[in-house]
Structure 1
Amino acid sequence: MSATSVRLASLSAAAMLLAVSSTAVFAQKKYDTGASDTEIKLGNIVPYSGPASAYGAVGKAQAGYFKMINDKGGINGRKINFISYDDAYSPPKAVEQTRKLIESDEVLLLFSALGTPSNTAIHKYMNAKKVPQLFLATGATKWNDPKNFPWTMGYLPSYQSEGRIYAQYLMKEKAGAKVGVLYQNDDFGKDYLKGLRDGFADKASSIVIEDSYELTEPTVDSHIVKIKAANPDVVVIFATPKFAAQTIKKIAELGWKPTMIVPGVSVSVGQVLRPAGLENAQGVISAHYAKDATDPQWKDDPGMIAYKEFLAKYVPDGNPADSSLMSGYNIAVTMAILLQQCGDDLTRANVMKQAANLKDIQQPTLLPGVKVNTSPTDFAPIDQMQMMKFEGESWKLFGEVMKGEVGTN
């Protein structure tokens, strides 16, 4: 590889994807509220506090990413004004903060709002206002409904798809195993559970116990004791980071050794597995769509090198082991690509038109084979994942990239 090639390969995704061509076509500029010749306002809500505050890293990564973009000249010459508020993972607070962003701050769109409960609370409002609710940091299946909610688009692989993937894995690798499920008693947990049940199809009787917890509970210890009493061979933990960590730790304290599965939203080494105790997390299984910054196989990967350089400069207090930072980064990369694609037509209608026209985008920190694709009838940008197991201090990928298509068995 030539010196020039090495230099280009090490550039950040932003520098490669957002360089403005000197031969750009100067079409008539069109703007809606939140966009101008010099600025694009993006609104965001994320839980920087409260029971899901571990996800606050998503917003921190995105703030850093857009600062990096601005330092490089912005997108098509416009700086990104990223306005991010704390909703504490509280639906009423989410409504309050979203109204502030739309009606007072006058943002062009709402970007990467985090959490199923929060996004559910503002879903109808955003569509009534005809303001894009884009690239939600939640995998609820209902975000892929362009017919009824044409202004809303998710980002993460759907929870139902992921649940189906775990069922596929268990039926193949743990045939006949008894399964216990802990799930969060809201749309987030119920979506995962439905996917798992649907994936098992006529073998759904493999699930011998399902127990839910409330987000307001301080601990899930009593639920784990209850699930253990049913003596399952496998425990599927459809929980957010705090409760996933509690579950892994409690199972170890009970001297119990079932196979454990955690969802892709709770695979952070820093926020989940270290608090649970790395020795307790050995052998935990999950699935993911993005590269893991702690995995030595990506040590010399140009995309990972650029990502770690980005963290060092723009999120200096961020721990590379925190997968929420990677999630925020990947969603921001896609947003930047979309805004670049919009050119000088920064109307809300064109933003949605371009969002529904993302084709085979291969981002540097997504797993090989995982591509971003959308269409006017498919508002699910990512629907592929790969299984992985936690060994030592990092996740180890195995098997092929899988799709857990909703509506199929």
Structure 2
Amino acid sequence: MPAVTGKLAAASLALALIAASASTASAQKKYDTGATDTEIKIGNIMPYSGPASAYGVIGKTEEAYFRKINAEGGINGRKINFISYDDGYSPPKTVEQARKLVESDEVLLIFNSLGTPPNTAIQKYMNSKKVPQLFVATGATKWNDPKDFPWTTGWQPNYQSESIIYAKYILKNNPNAKIAVLYQNDDYGKDYLKGFKDGLGAKAASMIVMEESYEVSEPTIDSHIVKLKATGADVFFNITTPKFAAQAIKKNAEIGWKPLHFLNNVSAQIGSVIKPAGFENAQGIISSIYLKDPTDPQWKDDPAIKAWNEFLDKYYPDANRADFNVMYAYIVSQGLVQVLKACGDNLTRENIMKQAAGIKDFEPVGLLPGVKVNTSPTDFAPLSQLQLMRLKGESWERFGDIINADVSG
């Protein structure tokens, strides 16, 4: 009898230990809506249609990249379920799609949704719901506001920083310039314009001879270009998205206006802007960059570009490899994977934001040498370095040093 009692006690103890270890294991795993032992549900909103549809390739590249990650075993054993919707670059539609992703699809976060007006339309909603609006695909300065919007972060160098660099270049090399500015009449365009004026400082009022805005709904900006030429300006700052950037370059050539032309880097695309506008019409345009241009012969034998080409060969063979947006998407996707890996088994929305605000010297494959991703709880801007470049022949030629484009700097 005592022997049986001893066996029962031992069995009970063993069961208790198993239960305790199981509960410890489950206690170590923390999930919010959208994450399980096997899946991480990621939402995304892109303009696959409409006036900014050239950017749709970003969503397609991201989908391909996450297929690659899943094929390699996922993130800490979990597969990414990437749900991407079209908003046509229309803010009311963005709101509709964000609600669908958060409330119906129950995603863990929304990643890299595109455009300043669309992201502005959902920023308060995302923050009220405490759902990460992570690495938005827009360089508006306002995404770096951890105090008021702790659930939103940007990714690329911000627009004000970029335009300050152009302004400083003009002040140094063309101090008597007469500048004409074309900008999209929304937060995106106004953010660039503010940075540009801040960069010119006291000389902004005398140097800028015309600020001309256009609406994203306009079919063509030809009439605006004609007006700007009539000012006699010898410097042109072109703050436009790809469709309108190509129109501006082409129209400049048609009417024989040849100012020193600065093009914001969101439209510095060989494939979707320069080539359709005509290489001969774009010579000498100045822009800026923080990632490797895969069409540049200098990177022909670069391991990063080889890895990028292998990825596209296998997962997105139809991609236009001359389009910077493809490389951009490849790099930002690595940023998301880095954050999710750092989360381990604590896939709560709060921990995602904590990890996103604690990135140190991360170098995704595809960034220019010397450019690194850094964030902190008080600085939500992952990238803040740029290098100037000038179009020569059929490719961009970088010049000068890597510049820290931090607004506060």
Cα deviation, 1:209-264, whole Å, max 9, x if unaligned, reads: 11000000000000000000111111110000000000000000011211111111
Q: Secondary structure at the match of 1:106?
A: coil
Q: Secondary structure at the match of 2:402?
A: coil
Q: Deviation of residue 53 (structure 1)?
A: 0.0
Unaligned runs of 5+ in 2: 1-24
Q: Deviation of residue 404 (structure 1)?
A: 2.9
Asked whether the 8 Å contact 1:249–1:277 carries over to 2, the reply is: yes
Question: Letter of the aligned partner of 1:102 in structure 2?
Answer: V
Question: Letter of the aligned partner of 2:329 in structure 1?
Answer: G
Unaligned runs of 5+ in 1: 1-24
Asked whether the 8 Å contact 1:58–1:324 carries over to 2, the reply is: yes
Task: Specify the alignment match of 2:136 in structure 1.
Answer: 136
More helix by share: 2
State the TM-score, normalized to the length of structure 1. 0.92
- Are 1:258 and 2:247 counterparts? no
Q: Deviation of residue 403 (structure 1)?
A: 2.3
- Are 1:101 and 2:101 counterparts? yes
Q: Secondary structure at the match of 1:85?
A: strand
Asked whether the 8 Å contact 1:360–1:372 carries over to 2, the reply is: yes
Task: Specify the alignment match of 1:339 in structure 2.
Answer: 340
Instruction: Give the direction of change, closer, same or farther, for the CA distance of 1:45–1:202 in structure 2 (3 Å limit).
Output: same
Q: Deviation of residue 355 (structure 1)?
A: 0.3
Q: Secondary structure at the match of 2:401?
A: coil
Write out aligned runs for 1:46-125 (5 A). 46-125=46-125
Cα deviation, 1:55-76, whole Å, max 9, x if unaligned, reads: 0011011000000000100011
Partner Cα separation in structure 1 for residue 310 and residue 198 of structure 2? 42
Asked whether the 8 Å contact 1:65–1:314 carries over to 2, the reply is: yes
Partner Cα separation in structure 1 for residue 324 and residue 363 of structure 2? 19
Asked whether the 8 Å contact 1:359–1:372 carries over to 2, the reply is: yes
Cα deviation, 1:75-115, whole Å, max 9, x if unaligned, reads: 11110000000010000000000100000000000000000
- Are 1:405 and 2:406 counterparts? yes
Task: Specify the alignment match of 1:246 in structure 2.
Answer: 247
Task: Specify the alignment match of 2:237 in structure 1.
Answer: 236
Asked whether the 8 Å contact 1:341–1:354 carries over to 2, the reply is: yes
Asked whether the 8 Å contact 1:178–1:207 carries over to 2, the reply is: yes
Partner Cα separation in structure 2 for residue 263 and residue 328 of structure 1? 18
Task: Specify the alignment match of 1:201 in structure 2.
Answer: 201
Q: Secondary structure at the match of 2:119?
A: helix
Q: Deviation of residue 26 (structure 1)?
A: 10
Partner Cα separation in structure 1 for residue 26 and residue 107 of structure 2? 24
Q: Deviation of residue 183 (structure 1)?
A: 0.2
Q: Deviation of residue 317 (structure 1)?
A: 1.1
Q: Secondary structure at the match of 2:216?
A: coil
Q: Deviation of residue 175 (structure 1)?
A: 2.1
Question: Letter of the aligned partner of 1:349 in structure 2?
Answer: E
Asked whether the 8 Å contact 2:46–2:56 carries over to 1, the reply is: yes
Asked whether the 8 Å contact 1:27–1:344 carries over to 2, the reply is: no
Partner Cα separation in structure 1 for residue 408 and residue 368 of structure 2? 25
Q: Deviation of residue 326 (structure 1)?
A: 1.0
Question: Letter of the aligned partner of 1:316 in structure 2?
Answer: P
Asked whether the 8 Å contact 1:115–1:137 carries over to 2, the reply is: yes
Q: Secondary structure at the match of 2:40?
A: strand
Cα deviation, 1:262-297, whole Å, max 9, x if unaligned, reads: 111001111000110111011111001111111111
Task: Specify the alignment match of 1:357 in structure 2.
Answer: 358
Q: Deviation of residue 308 (structure 1)?
A: 1.2
Task: Specify the alignment match of 2:367 in structure 1.
Answer: 366
Asked whether the 8 Å contact 2:385–2:406 carries over to 1, the reply is: no
Asked whether the 8 Å contact 2:157–2:405 carries over to 1, the reply is: no
Q: Deviation of residue 27 (structure 1)?
A: 7.9
Asked whether the 8 Å contact 1:156–1:382 carries over to 2, the reply is: yes
Task: Specify the alignment match of 1:384 in structure 2.
Answer: 385
Question: Letter of the aligned partner of 1:255 in structure 2?
Answer: G
Q: Deviation of residue 120 (structure 1)?
A: 0.4
Task: Specify the alignment match of 2:313 in structure 1.
Answer: 312
How many percent identity over aligned positions? 65
Cα deviation, 1:102-160, whole Å, max 9, x if unaligned, reads: 00000000000000010000000000000000000000011000000000001111101
The size of the alignment, in residue pairs, is: 384
Partner Cα separation in structure 2 for residue 218 and residue 403 of structure 1? 36
Question: Letter of the aligned partner of 1:77 in structure 2?
Answer: G
Cα deviation, 1:192-214, whole Å, max 9, x if unaligned, reads: 00000000111212111110000
Asked whether the 8 Å contact 1:165–1:403 carries over to 2, the reply is: no
State the TM-score, normalized to the length of structure 2. 0.92
Write out aligned runs for 1:17-56 (5 A). 28-56=28-56
Deviates more, 1:164-173 or 1:234-243: 164-173
Q: Secondary structure at the match of 2:153?
A: strand
Higher relative contact order (CA 8 A, sep 6+): 1
Instruction: Give the direction of change, closer, same or farther, for the CA distance of 1:27–1:286 in structure 2 (3 Å limit).
Output: farther
Q: Secondary structure at the match of 2:63?
A: helix
Task: Specify the alignment match of 1:13 in structure 2.
Answer: none
Task: Specify the alignment match of 2:211 in structure 1.
Answer: 210
Asked whether the 8 Å contact 1:358–1:374 carries over to 2, the reply is: yes
Task: Specify the alignment match of 1:223 in structure 2.
Answer: 224
